[in-house]
Amino acid sequence: MTQKELLYLEDAIGHETSLIDVLTETLSYLENEDLVAFIEKECKKHKTMKEKLMKSLEDCANE
C-alpha cells in the first residue's frame, strides 16, 4: 500500500470516528423512538465501517 493510500485510510478512520461521536451525542437529545432507532442503525453501520478500515490498516502493517 502506498503512503498516499495509508494517509487516505487514516483520514477515513478519522471521519468515521467523528461521525460516530456526532451520532452518539445526537442520541442523547432525541425523544422520538423512530429517530433513535434510525440513528442507532447509522451508528452501528459506521462502527462496522471503522472496524473494517482498522482491519485493513492492521493487515497492511502485518505484511
Q: Residue range 8-14: average pLDDT?
A: 95
Whole-model pTM above 0.85?
A: yes
C-alpha cell at 33: 423512538
Output 3 or 11, whichever has higher pLDDT: 11
Distances in Å between the alpha carbon of 32 and those of 35, 37, 42, 47?
5, 9, 15, 22
Predicted confidence (pLDDT) per residue in 13-32, tens digit: 999 999 999 999 999 999 99
Q: Residue range 4-8: average pLDDT?
A: 90
Q: pLDDT at residue 60 above 90? A: no
Q: Which DSSP letter does residue 31 get?
A: -
